[in-house]
Chain A
């Protein structure tokens, strides 16, 4: 024990770090900031350190070469003792890090912590969020599988839409005209050297600012921030109602950090590592590329935006979002901090949260995508075939063979791209059905060239049988009058299909 003390003293005589570290850890913080709401920043930092440690471990085995990366991931999963667990920790760590950074940002926003004098802390925080998302995307690329390959293609397609310099950006991003060895190598360099170095530097600055300016006090409704008086008031608060950070507040950070690491490890052990999915072989096109969860909302947005809106939204949207985040502390640098008196701030957070989670939820079952295997799956259900005329049965065969169920559900089976057809005859008359099949429209391709007149007639005859038992199919009253002048227009008999 004495020896350890002597070594410590010898070191400190040279390093002279003990005094500043003690001063730092014992600096007074406002008492009510020792709250569970204030633990997310430190938790994000701890997960970041965890990512560095597990990342270095993965780099011991991973080969950043387009020809070897996939095999080295398989080897990590199956050939290296606990390689799967370290991969899973790194993958789940990244999910947790994105989530915690977002929660931290939300808390900071709702507590008004971005206001004077902590504007720069907020700006660096926004930059750290961008870097974290950059790590998430580049990390997904390093898991060099089909999702990574086609994900890069999506990134390139988005980048290529930038006016004039788009193609140059694509080539810089891919390291050449195609996705290949150079692409993976540069994403490796970005993921392992460039962004982590930037993150370390800016996290240090972020922390330094927290120490220099003091932690944001618990916002009290009515206690307004004024540039002239704030610093004096804050100093008074820490003097009158302050407590040393260690140990008064730090134990909550420590407990939460340990809890988060256990949660990451638990998810890693239970759910296992992410992928890799199929080999990154571009000739295997039987694939459904999907981004990782933090970009699922974007995946949904890109499916649902009207085509003409897409490029402007993709190119201008991020600029506006970034500008709003960067201007926020300057536009609203003073005044009320408490969320209780900032209804618009609360509504904004709720709106963003609901929007993002709705898009993420939609991306989970992709209602906009045709079901590529629906036609070879379930046949047309029996109850749709009983007591049908030969023509209608022929139409059911056309319905099956032309893969209508890739996009349309029947009896709950099939794509959700188009409307379910169980009661289509109630919605559309015979003429409308023919027109819709032949000309398409409303996001449906035209089948006029792919169907013979006989096939169209049979298909429409079958579609006309698709109505609930108690409901009559739609009919063109004017046509009924024109064809059968003697019959009243409100007749109950549906028009038989004309072969």
Chain B
């Protein structure tokens, strides 16, 4: 094309039209990409990791592990039941706690606490954890996910708001225990 010495008026107009459309396309791509990426950005901008209350310390007897539920700090109007989340609260003594995600560290199924055998068992692929959350057996490569917690005015509060997955940023916040020797 470029070697063609004759440049027709129509040819120039077509090229201009293509250029114009490309510019419009790029301008439009900015809001489109920002909209699609908002799945990543919108949670962060609202500070999705927030402190949420689980209940008064007295709800959790010493030496026991109890199920607690909380409402996600990050919700949308159509979340319905899914905005509620469960976690396992183990009170060692006094203000010393361990708060575990119910999500198995293998593939996220809800683990159940069996006080008689002092094990968390997963119904999906057979993962098992000791009472301190460390891996006991099965496919998980690590112990249960733990939430950061603190005791505030007699209430247990945890830092939550993200689905715990093996690769999630919060997963690296807590100590990864080696499998039991």
A residues sitting closer than 8 Å to B (CB atoms) are 65-68, 70, 149-150, 153-154, 156-162, 166-168, 170-172, 174-186, 279-283, 285-289, 299, 302-303, 305, 307-308, 310-311, 366, 368-370, 372, 375, 401-404, 406, 417, 440, 443-447, 449-450
Task: Tell me if B167 counts as interface (CB < 8 A to partner A).
Answer: yes
A-B pairs, 5 with minimum CB distance:
A67-B80, A181-B78, A160-B167, A153-B108, A445-B136
Q: Mark B22-49, 1 if CB is under 8 A from A, else 0.
A: 0000000000000010011011000010
Task: Tell me if B133 counts as interface (CB < 8 A to partner A).
Answer: no
Specify which of B111, B118, B119, B165 lies most central, judged by the most chain A CB atoms within 10 Å of its CB. Answer: B165
Tell whether, in the assembled complex, residue B165 and residue A160 are in contact, meaning their CB atoms are under 8 Å apart.
yes
What's the least CB distance linking B94 to chain A, in Å? Answer: 21
Tell whether, in the assembled complex, residue A176 and residue B136 are in contact, meaning their CB atoms are under 8 Å apart.
no
Query: Can you show 9 pairs from A to B with CB atoms below 8 A apart?
Result: A67-B80, A153-B103, A154-B124, A167-B169, A289-B123, A302-B106, A406-B114, A445-B137, A450-B118
Tell whether, in the assembled complex, residue B80 and residue A65 are in contact, meaning their CB atoms are under 8 Å apart.
yes
Tell whether, in the assembled complex, residue B112 and residue A286 are in contact, meaning their CB atoms are under 8 Å apart.
yes
Tell whether, in the assembled complex, residue B136 and residue A283 are in contact, meaning their CB atoms are under 8 Å apart.
no
What's the least CB distance linking B71 to chain A, in Å? Answer: 10
Tell whether, in the assembled complex, residue B126 and residue A417 are in contact, meaning their CB atoms are under 8 Å apart.
yes
Tell whether, in the assembled complex, residue B167 and residue A162 are in contact, meaning their CB atoms are under 8 Å apart.
yes
B1-58 residues at the A interface, CB under 8 angstroms:
36, 39-40, 42-43, 48
Tell whether, in the assembled complex, residue A179 and residue B82 are in contact, meaning their CB atoms are under 8 Å apart.
yes
Known: A180-B75, A445-B128. A283 touches B85 (CB 8 A): yes
B residues sitting closer than 8 Å to A (CB atoms) are 36, 39-40, 42-43, 48, 67, 69, 72, 74-86, 102-103, 106-112, 114, 116-119, 121, 123-126, 128, 130-131, 136-141, 161-163, 165-169, 180
Given contacts A178-B82, A181-B80, 4 further A-B contacts (CB under 8 A): A66-B82, A159-B165, A179-B163, A369-B124
Of all chain A residues, which has the CB nearest B72?
A: A178
Of the candidates B67, B107, B117, B161, the one whose C-beta lies within 8 Å of that of A177 is: B161
Chain A residue numbers with a CB within 8 Å of B72 are 178, 180
Of all chain A residues, which has the CB nearest B160?
A: A178
Tell whether, in the assembled complex, residue B130 and residue A449 are in contact, meaning their CB atoms are under 8 Å apart.
yes
Of all chain B residues, which has the CB nearest A448?
A: B180
C-alpha gap A136/B82 in the complex (Å): 22
Chain A residue numbers with a CB within 8 Å of B119 are 445
Tell whether, in the assembled complex, residue A403 and residue B163 are in contact, meaning their CB atoms are under 8 Å apart.
no
What's the least CB distance linking A434 to chain B, in Å? Answer: 17
Known: A308-B141, A370-B121. A445 touches B130 (CB 8 A): yes
What's the least CB distance linking B54 to chain A, in Å? Answer: 12
What's the least CB distance linking B105 to chain A, in Å? Answer: 9
What's the least CB distance linking B149 to chain A, in Å? Answer: 18
C-alpha gap A287/B103 in the complex (Å): 12
Known: A176-B74, A289-B123. A153 touches B109 (CB 8 A): yes
C-alpha gap A302/B83 in the complex (Å): 28
Chain B residue numbers with a CB within 8 Å of A167 are 165, 167-169
Tell whether, in the assembled complex, residue A372 and residue B168 are in contact, meaning their CB atoms are under 8 Å apart.
no
Known: A150-B108, A402-B117. A171 touches B167 (CB 8 A): no
Chain A residue numbers with a CB within 8 Å of B82 are 66, 149, 178-181, 183, 280-282
Tell whether, in the assembled complex, residue B114 and residue A153 are in contact, meaning their CB atoms are under 8 Å apart.
no
What's the least CB distance linking B8 to chain A, in Å? Answer: 33
C-alpha gap A449/B134 in the complex (Å): 13
Tell whether, in the assembled complex, residue A177 and residue B121 are in contact, meaning their CB atoms are under 8 Å apart.
no
C-alpha gap A44/B72 in the complex (Å): 43
Chain A residue numbers with a CB within 8 Å of B168 are 160, 167, 170
Tell whether, in the assembled complex, residue A180 and residue B109 are in contact, meaning their CB atoms are under 8 Å apart.
no
Chain A residue numbers with a CB within 8 Å of B116 are 375, 401-403
Chain B residue numbers with a CB within 8 Å of A180 are 72, 75-76, 78-79, 82-83
C-alpha gap A170/B165 in the complex (Å): 9
What's the least CB distance linking A386 to chain B, in Å? Answer: 25
Of all chain A residues, which has the CB nearest B88?
A: A285
